[in-house]
Amino acid sequence: HLYAFIDSMCLKCIVELGIPDIIHNHGQPITLPELVSILQIPPAKVSQVQSLMRYLAHNGFFERVRIHEKEAYALTAASELLVKSSELSLAPMIEFVLDPTLSNSFHQLKKWVYEKDLTLFDISLGSHLWDFLNKNPAHNKSFNEAMASDSQMMNLALRDCNWVFQGLEFIVDVGGGTGTTAKIICEAFPNLKCIVFDRPQVIENLSGSNNLTYVGGDMFKSIPKADVIL
């Protein structure tokens, strides 16, 4: 448990370095010399990069193979989801969640326990998370990209579990952002009416379709009625 944060930091590192994209674009498993050459790693750090790759292979993010007696690395199902150029990529989620501005908030858990009405982000950022995002466009952009990347995973859910939505008439996606998830559902089920419910500033200037509607509001006060709440 003490060193569990290293797993997260290693994931962040390979996403920032673009290693999953490098292997994906390589078209086949990549050897360590090829990888460090592309990354222009200083010779003194090559062994450390090898340790990083081996550790992530141990955790299932890469597969270690042999090519002409040389150690090489291939993508796994997990690291395929970290390829930024892929339609199904969780790289933006990693970049947002592990941004120091937000992840450092968890150093304030002790103080948060004793504050009756304050959230963790109120304590660490000086305001509610939504207020912080409204005042910081770069973080707000990163947040929206992270939520959109997470929403794309609905494609995988619908592929194997579309029976969940069969027979429904109305669904409301609470905190649905710009409607990525809702659009996927509406395309799969044209007869299903879907409401995307989020903060007014999130959905402004967004237009719906025959079975997709955008509604602004505060989920802590009220939520539009529907058969199912997502």
The predicted pLDDT at position 74 comes to 98
The predicted pLDDT at position 181 comes to 87
pLDDT tens-digit profile of 86-140?
988 999 999 999 999 999 999 999 999 999 889 999 999 999 888 999 899 999 9
Q: Are residues 174 and 126 in the same domain?
A: no
Q: Band of the pLDDT at 62, cuts 50, 70, 90?
A: very high
The predicted pLDDT at position 64 comes to 96
Mean pLDDT lowest among 41-45, 95-99, 107-111, 157-161: 157-161
| SS3 per-residue string spanning the chain | CCCCHHHHHHHHHHHHHCHHHHHHHHCCCEEHHHHHHHHCCCHHHHHHHHHHHHHHHHCCCEEEEEECCEEEEEECHHHHCCCCCCCCCCHHHHHHHCCHHHHHHHHHHHHHHHCCCCCHHHHHHCCCHHHHHHHCHHHHHHHHHHHHHHHCCHHHHHHHHHHHHCCCCEEEEECCCCCHHHHHHHHHCCCCEEEEEECHHHHCCCCCECCEEEEECCCCCCCCCCCEEC
Q: Are residues 124 and 154 in the same domain?
A: yes
- The last residue of one of the domains, among 79, 96, 126, is 79
Q: Are residues 75 and 123 in the same domain?
A: no
Burial annotation 50-84 (CB, 10 A radius, 16+ → b, else e)? bebbeebbeeebbeeeeeeeebbbbbbeebbbbbe
The CATH number linked to 190 is: 3.40.50.150
Q: Are residues 105 and 46 in the same domain?
A: no
Percent of the chain with pLDDT over 70: 100
Number of domains in the chain: 3
Q: Are residues 150 and 105 in the same domain?
A: yes
Q: Are residues 31 and 104 in the same domain?
A: no
Q: Are residues 153 and 99 in the same domain?
A: yes
Q: Are residues 71 and 18 in the same domain?
A: yes
Q: Are residues 1 and 67 in the same domain?
A: yes
Q: Are residues 182 and 144 in the same domain?
A: no
The predicted pLDDT at position 214 comes to 95
The predicted pLDDT at position 172 comes to 96
The pLDDT mean for the chain works out to 92
Q: Are residues 90 and 50 in the same domain?
A: no
- The last residue of one of the domains, among 79, 94, 123, is 79
The CATH number linked to 39 is: 1.10.10.10
Q: Band of the pLDDT at 50, cuts 50, 70, 90?
A: very high
- The last residue of one of the domains, among 19, 46, 79, is 79
The predicted pLDDT at position 212 comes to 94
Q: Band of the pLDDT at 188, cuts 50, 70, 90?
A: confident
Domain limits for position 182? 166-229
Is residue 22 over pLDDT 90?
A: yes
Q: Are residues 115 and 182 in the same domain?
A: no
